[in-house]
């Protein structure tokens, strides 16, 4: 009987640890999805400049730079990070439609 109680305690501890890890993952994923949605809406409404200064843009930039996420190809990742940083090098400014497409692809992948 005590072995069974000990096994139950151990199983409960494992489930609680997994539940906490899932809750943290879900909160992070929800934040990322919300940032993508805000970015798409801002760019489509022509207010990308104010969006780029927001906390959502910072979160999206971190997500795009993250090596743990395999959401984008390297070219799309670089273009998105460049746009979010406001530093499109060599005078090239990507079309907002292209950025919206990249963001929507990220959202679909997540």
Please give, one letter per residue, the 3-state secondary structure of 16-55: HHHHHHHHHHHHHHHHHHHHHHHHHHHHHCCCHHHHHCCH
Tokens for 105, please give them. 């692809």
Q: Is the pLDDT of residue 110 over 80?
A: no
pLDDT, tens only, 23-74: 999 998 888 888 888 888 887 777 667 777 888 888 888 888 775 556 677 7
Higher pLDDT, 52 or 89: 52
How many Cβ atoms sit within 10 Å of the Cβ of residue 78? 14
């Amino acid at each position: 009987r005590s072995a069974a109680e000990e096994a139950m305690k151990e199983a409960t501890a494992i489930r609680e640890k997994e539940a906490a890890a899932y809750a943290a993952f879900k909160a992070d994923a929800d934040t990322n999805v919300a940032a993508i949605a805000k970015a798409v809406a801002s760019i489509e409404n022509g207010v990308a400049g104010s969006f780029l200064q927001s906390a959502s843009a910072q979160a999206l930039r971190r997500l795009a730079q993250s090596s743990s996420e395999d959401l984008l190809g390297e070219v799309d990742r670089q273009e998105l990070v460049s746009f979010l940083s406001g530093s499109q090098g060599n005078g090239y400014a990507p079309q907002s439609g292209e950025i919206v497409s990249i963001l929507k692809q990220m959202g679909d992948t997540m």
